[in-house]
Amino acid sequence: MLRAIVIATALLSAATSTPLSPHLVVREALSTIPPGFSASGPAPADTVLHLRFALAQGNTAALEAAFYDISTPGRAAYGQHLTSDALAAYVRPAAETDTLVRAWLAAHKLEAAPVSLAGDVLAVELEVGRANALLGADFRMFTEDKSGRRLVRTLAYALPAELRGLVEHVHPTITFDLPPVPRIVSPSSRSLTARLHTAVNASCYETTTPACIQALYGIPTALATQPANKLFVSGFEGQWANQEDLTEFLSIYRPDIHASAQKNFSVISVSGGTNNQTLGKAGVEANLDIQYTVGLASGVPTTFVTVGPGLGNFPPDQFFLSLQDEANYILNMTDPPTVLTSSYSQPEINVSEALAKTICNLYMQLGARGVTVLFSSGDDGFGPTFPGTCPYITSVGGTQLNKTTKKEKAALFGGGGSSGGGFSNYFPTPAYQSSSVAAYIAHLNGTLHGA
């Protein structure tokens, strides 16, 4: 604690130093503006930013070990999920870390509010001019070329040398969020070898209905009887799920559910999220997710989690903040869901490595609480997508049936692209995948070696 007091005093005295003082060391930086964006000039100095400071967690390695023990059948701790208090004991930053970071912020007359279960993420509100001075940054306006949407970002930021290893990252800074865009696709007829299916209706080669998926994977049609199971479906980027649409969908494809009491979904709002029920406002992605989830889960209580713009009225492009808000909300629940499923993702290159690891650790925490987290693998072929590359979640790709071979294969889209996947540039191959990955690489026999 004496060391913390000494360093805190030094940080207070450094408050009058210049933005480029030797006290600051670059924490993250980009060499160029990300593809798809253009510089639009300096950000007005009085523009308000809502930054989040991710602090070094208490014992991530021990939490990871506990996560795998809890998640691996046959181990003594399998299924013994952590309580929120037990989880917080792993994640909570060291007292010294919290003291030093708060002292530094206080020296700049900034107040920090915790926005996570264990206090490992602090939210700070400040103007661009003060943020530039605090972080040795140059926050500017950037425009997304395709949509004209504008962001305030910096290509680099720095932290006091005394905080090295104590602050993992600050966001939003160098991560340029692209809003996930639902893709309406038509299947290609190109074939990839996979499983053979002969017990499906011929119509399944053209249209995928709940009945097709039930036949392919042996999913029962009987209504669920386990009341403890709960299923959450994520909704981001102003995507809304419509109850009237769901009712009509079930009347056509699952009349047995339509006639039951389990034909509705409930709604949870996170960070001001809404669920507009105007029929013309229904989101393609949100409707698809809810309709097929309810249509396949056969009576499992389903909740649509609509995530809003975030604390401090973040603009709707803050996808990675929305991911954190949703995860933190669920981590604070006394009785979290059994499953959280989300069909949203972005190319892994769009998120900084430090931010990706912070978000991925949230999914490890959810897993330790007993939540199975599912994400789509995206539509960009071999390119890695996030959060799909996080080793603590299950990444799910798309498949289709070939009418000639009657084989299931990875989906190929008529408009270009295919079901996503690819090796992460941030996360090493987890042990549970090592043998499968080694066999896959051996099967390629060097044909796809990189440069």
Give tens-digit pLDDT for 28-64.
999 999 999 999 999 999 999 999 999 999 999 999 9
Calculate mean pLDDT across residues 271-281: 90
pLDDT at 345 over 80: yes
Residues 298 and 436 in one domain: yes
Average pLDDT across the chain, whole number: 87
Domain boundary among 171, 194, 213: 171
pLDDT at 106 over 50: yes
Do residues 153 and 172 lie in contact, with contact meaning Cβ atoms separated by under 8 Å? yes
pLDDT for residue 403: 81
**How many domains does the chain fold into?**
2
Residues 227 and 367 in one domain: yes
pLDDT for residue 96: 96
pLDDT in tens, 371-402: 999 999 988 788 899 999 999 999 999 888 88
How many CB atoms lie under 10 A from the CB of residue 351? 26
Q: How confident is the model at residue 6 (pLDDT cuts 50, 70, 90)?
A: very low
pLDDT for residue 192: 35
In a domain, 347, yes or no: yes
State how far Cα 390 lies from the chain centre: 9
Residue with tokens 């998926």: 213
In a domain, 62, yes or no: no
Residues 387 and 287 in one domain: yes
pLDDT for residue 180: 60
Residues 387 and 345 in one domain: yes
pLDDT in tens, 87-102: 999 999 999 999 999 9
Residues 352 and 276 in one domain: yes
pLDDT for residue 399: 85
Residues 106 and 239 in one domain: no
Residues 125 and 237 in one domain: no
Q: How confident is the model at residue 329 (pLDDT cuts 50, 70, 90)?
A: very high
In a domain, 70, yes or no: no
Q: How confident is the model at residue 207 (pLDDT cuts 50, 70, 90)?
A: confident
Measured CA to CA, the distance from residue 237 to residue 316 in angstroms comes to 6
User: 187 or 447: whose pLDDT is higher?
Assistant: 447
Residues 214 and 299 in one domain: yes
User: 207 or 159: whose pLDDT is higher?
Assistant: 159
In a domain, 68, yes or no: no
Measured CA to CA, the distance from residue 116 to residue 278 in angstroms comes to 33
Q: How confident is the model at residue 315 (pLDDT cuts 50, 70, 90)?
A: low
Q: How confident is the model at residue 450 (pLDDT cuts 50, 70, 90)?
A: low
Residues 162 and 209 in one domain: no
In a domain, 51, yes or no: yes
pLDDT for residue 203: 85
Residues 15 and 98 in one domain: yes
In a domain, 359, yes or no: yes
pLDDT at 85 over 60: yes
Residue 134, domain extent: 2-57+92-171
User: 391 or 3: whose pLDDT is higher?
Assistant: 391
In a domain, 83, yes or no: no
pLDDT for residue 296: 95
Residues 403 and 285 in one domain: yes
In a domain, 21, yes or no: yes
Q: How confident is the model at residue 128 (pLDDT cuts 50, 70, 90)?
A: very high
Residues 142 and 233 in one domain: no
Calculate mean pLDDT across residues 403-431: 85
Calculate mean pLDDT across residues 115-125: 96
